[in-house]
Chains A and B, each alone.
Chain A
């Protein structure tokens, strides 16, 4: 399928409205699945929409002690970053709106910028929970970032291109890379969980210790934007993994189904594990994640060279 006009891509499909609506749907699906795994009933399908609407119409309280400009701009910037990232990724099985050589690096950069925004939002405030949360968010960023990047670079090296479209085309022609690069696949899934602070990697926003971490001072629109940005990031990451590891784009319907399966795996993991402490998170990523992904890289290079 060829991509439509860039303006349509940006505002309607696959970016813009379509992406916002689907991100809310993905959030609902995740919440519902976790609820069912936890033996609860779970929310109705319109619950995320209702949540967002409520947050958007609520008054936004800006604390005296923060830098006002940063406080207002950070959520917008973070949101813009993930929305832009979606343009490079084949969302919903449609070819990416923009493509250029090296767009994989831009996408990864834009996705990380969101986490940095989150950390800065926490550090901007004087609230102690927010500061501790920000420290943890940024610490966690350093933990998962390298292995996660490696896990996305593995398909790139296999396809010998930095272009997402080329990699997806390569993935389409081969056996699913999930089978040929199993460690990379697992690390990319867990990396998404670390990136989005999904349990068990939710130490940066552990409510029983630090209320809601870096976002403790946010209310109203700012909080809504950050939450939507996180949801969009989830969809973008899942699409990227599905395109790389689960056999390229292929049939759009099948592609969306694949992302749902990935989401179900994430929901299952998140409801069956206990939260890691931040030191345990770092230990896990650097002692296990980084070494395993390096080993996978070595294997890949050996196979390529020989």
Chain B
């Protein structure tokens, strides 16, 4: 008997684990999941993240605010604008700079275009996970329209860098409005068509209705954010609860659903896309006049500020501490995917079929490289501890071994 067979024999008696990742066709980014299965039923699930740790928080401490703005946009390729906005808001608030209303409107529009392209991307990925490849191809073709808008207007398809300290660098011109409006109207029709497919297609409903159910109370308790929370009836949206740049001038409508299952997550995201399209068209036609930038000092006064932005995946949280120099003293990022993992691992996964796992996983729209940080859960109330650099280094070496 070979060594492998022996290992397998010794473990298979206890439980049968199907490993997903770090390299797996279903995963677009590396992550590791272990599903313990009995036949097709998943009885336990564990998760291991941290394959794409890049040390961005540390790198941010060695750059000035303008450089960090471009650095944090690279945390996530999909929600680059949200990261930039969340960071630069902190810097602007610390410096006491109020950006002009026109810049606010441009930021809000860019944020909504980003939401559109992120949700369309997710729609494709999630339907591919369930084996509905036609939806995947259709939605990604429509996403190309959004990408074209981004490219034509902001110059880039992914890291479009609309923000600069104190405002934005691109203006919404009348030509842009004329060019974009028909495209958005076409997209709205497409989104209505997808909503129809999701609600009526029998085979698709078989795979999504009553799958991955997580109740309102539990969602709230686990701290889920974004569309994942809103699909469980938790009205949590940073654009409404703590309106920031743009959304304070032009309020946006919240989309919630009480059905708490996978289908609700599809419905919420698609309805959000429709809302976004209406919002963009509305704001473009009511653009405030004025400057695009306000003067921003190079050195930011000492202080601390926290800002939250509603990224496509949920609440994106930034904490920035300044010590009065050109560089930030500390930048702390907490992304939306990290808050939502709990809903998958803790309760939803168990008891489902293995075949539902890809859809349940992609149901929270995970973004792996956003997640890479150390998490330690302390059970007691007052047992906070400070780790030294050596301890952290040792932990890191052991973790990656």
> Which A residues are closer than 8 A to B by beta carbons?
37-40, 64-65, 126, 128-129, 132, 199-200, 202-203, 206-211, 271-280
The listed residue (A39, A126, A200) touching B131 by CB distance below 8 A is: A200
CA distance A64 to B7 in the complex (A): 13
Chain A residues near B17 (CB-CB < 8 A): 128
Across-interface contacts of A280 in B (CB, < 8 A): 206
**Closest chain B residue, CB of each to CB of A38:** B137
Instruction: Verify A132–B131 contact, CB threshold 8 A.
Output: no
Which A residues are CB-close (under 8 A) to B2?
64-65
Seen from chain B, the residues whose Cβ lies within 8 Å of a Cβ on chain A are 2, 4-5, 8, 16-19, 24-26, 37, 40, 127-134, 137-138, 141, 201, 203-204, 206-207, 353-358
Query: Which of A38, A200, A211 meets B203, CB within 8 Å?
Result: A200
Q: Can you offer 28 A-B residue contacts whose CB atoms are under 8 A?
A: A38-B134, A38-B137, A39-B137, A39-B141, A65-B4, A65-B5, A126-B5, A128-B19, A132-B37, A199-B133, A200-B131, A203-B131, A203-B355, A206-B131, A206-B355, A208-B131, A209-B358, A210-B18, A272-B134, A274-B127, A274-B130, A274-B131, A274-B132, A274-B203, A275-B130, A277-B356, A278-B40, A279-B40
- Asked if A38 and B133 sit within 8 Å, CB to CB, the answer is yes
A207 — nearest CB in chain B belongs to which residue?
B25
- In the complex, the answer to whether A271 meets B133 with C-beta atoms within 8 Å is yes
* Top 7 closest pairs, chain A to chain B, by CB: A275-B131, A208-B26, A208-B358, A38-B137, A274-B132, A274-B203, A277-B355
Chain B residue numbers with a CB within 8 Å of A202 are: 131
| Nearest CB of chain B from residue A76's CB, rounded to whole Å | 24
Q: Which residues of chain A come closer than 8 Å to B201, judged between CB atoms?
A: 274
CA distance A278 to B356 in the complex (A): 11
A39 to B124, CA, bound (A): 14
Whole-angstrom distance between the alpha carbons of A95 and B26 in the complex? 46
Q: For the complex, would chain B's binding face be called helix, strand, loop or mixed by DSSP majority?
A: helix
A278→B137 contact, CB < 8 A: no
Whether the Cβ atoms of B206 and A39 lie closer than 8 Å is: no
A39 and B138 within 8 A (CB): yes
Q: In the complex, which residues of chain B have a beta carbon less than 8 angstroms from the beta carbon of A279?
A: 40, 353
State A200–B207 Cα separation when bound (angstroms): 12
Q: Which chain A residues lie closer than 8 Å to B4 at the CB level? A: 64-65, 126
Q: How far is the CB of B353 from chain A (nearest CB, A)?
A: 6
Nearest CB of chain A from residue B42's CB, rounded to whole Å: 11
Query: Does B132 contact A132, Cβ atoms closer than 8 Å?
Result: no
With A37-B134, A38-B138, A200-B131 as given contacts, are A277 and B203 in contact (CB-CB < 8 Å)? no
Give the residue of B18, B24, B203, B358 whose beta carbon is less than 8 angstroms from that of A276.
Answer: B203
CA gap between A210 and B134 in the complex, in Å = 20
Q: Are B355 and A278 in contact (CB under 8 A)?
A: yes
- Given A208-B26, A275-B355, output 16 extra A-B contacts at Cβ < 8 Å: A38-B138, A39-B138, A128-B16, A199-B133, A202-B131, A203-B355, A206-B131, A208-B128, A209-B26, A210-B18, A211-B24, A271-B133, A274-B130, A277-B353, A277-B356, A280-B206
CB of A285, distance to nearest CB on chain B (Å): 15
What residues on B are CB-neighbors of A199 within 8 Å?
131, 133
A207, B27: Cα distance in complex, Å: 10
Which residues of the other chain, B, contact A126 by a CB distance below 8 angstroms?
A: 4-5, 8
The distance in angstroms between the C-alpha atoms of A70 and B234, with both chains bound, is 55
Q: Which residues of A contact B355 (CB under 8 A)?
A: 203, 206, 209, 275, 277-278
Contact A209 B354 (CB under 8 A): yes
From the candidates A39, A40, A210, A277, name the one contacting B207 in the complex (CB within 8 A): A277
Residues of A within 8 A of B24 (CB): 211
Residues of A within 8 A of B16 (CB): 128
Whether A274 contacts B40 by the Cβ 8 Å rule is no
A274 to B201, CA, bound (A): 9
B-chain residues with CB within 8 Å of residue A129 when the two chains form the complex? 18
Q: Which residues of A contact B354 (CB under 8 A)?
A: 132, 209-210
Across the interface, which residues of B come within 8 angstroms of A211, CB to CB?
A: 24-25
B residues less than 8 Å from A38 (CB atoms): 133-134, 137-138
User: Which residue from chain A places its CB closest to the CB of B23 in the assembled complex?
Assistant: A211
Contact status B132-A209, CB under 8 Å: no
Max chain A Cβ within 10 angstroms of own Cβ: one of B8, B25, B134:
B134
With A65-B4, A128-B17 in contact, is A274–B25 under 8 Å at CB? no
A201 to chain B minimum Cβ distance, whole angstroms, is 10
Q: How far is the CA of A183 from the CA of B16 in the complex (A)?
A: 41
Of listed B8, B207, B355, residue having the most chain A CB within 10 A: B355
Q: Which residues of A contact B357 (CB under 8 A)?
A: 209
Give every chain A residue within 8 A of B353 (Cβ-Cβ). 277-279
How many Å lie between the Cα of A279 and that of B133 in the bound state? 20
With both chains docked as a complex, state the minimum distance between the C-beta of B177 and any C-beta of chain A, in angstroms. 28
A260 to B127 Cα, complex, angstroms: 29
Alpha-carbon gap, A210 to B130, bound state (A):
12
B206: min CB distance to chain A, Å: 6
Contacts of A207 in B (CB 8 A): 25-26
Report the bound CA distance from A199 to B131 in whole Å: 8
Instruction: Find chain B residues with CB under 8 A from A273 CB.
Output: 132, 203
Measured CA separation A77–B169 after assembly (Å): 66
Known: A203-B355, A274-B204. A208 touches B129 (CB 8 A): yes
CB distance from A28 to the nearest CB of B (A): 18
A38 to B141, CA, bound (A): 10
Chain B residue contacts of A271, Cβ below 8 A: 133-134
Closest residue to B356 on the A side, CB-wise? A277
How far apart sit A276 and B353, CA to CA, in the bound complex (Å)? 12
User: In the bound complex, how far is the Cα of B209 from the Cα of A274, in angstroms?
Assistant: 13
Whole-angstrom distance from the CB of B257 to the nearest CB of chain A? 20
Q: In the bound complex, what is the Cα–Cα distance between A93 and B316 (angstroms)?
A: 65
Residues of A within 8 Å of B204, CB to CB, are: 274
Report how far A132 CA is from B355 CA in the complex, Å: 11
In the complex the two chains form, what is the Cα distance from A129 to B131 in whole Å? 17
Contact residues in B for A275 (Cβ distance below 8 Å): 130-132, 207, 355
**A274 vs B357: C-alpha distance when bound (angstroms):** 15
* Bound-state Cα–Cα, A272 to B5, Å: 42
Assembly CA distance A277 to B131 (angstroms): 10
A42 to chain B, nearest CB (A): 11
Chain A neighbourhood of B207, CB < 8 A: 274-275, 277
**Residues of A close to B356: CB separation below 8 A:** 277
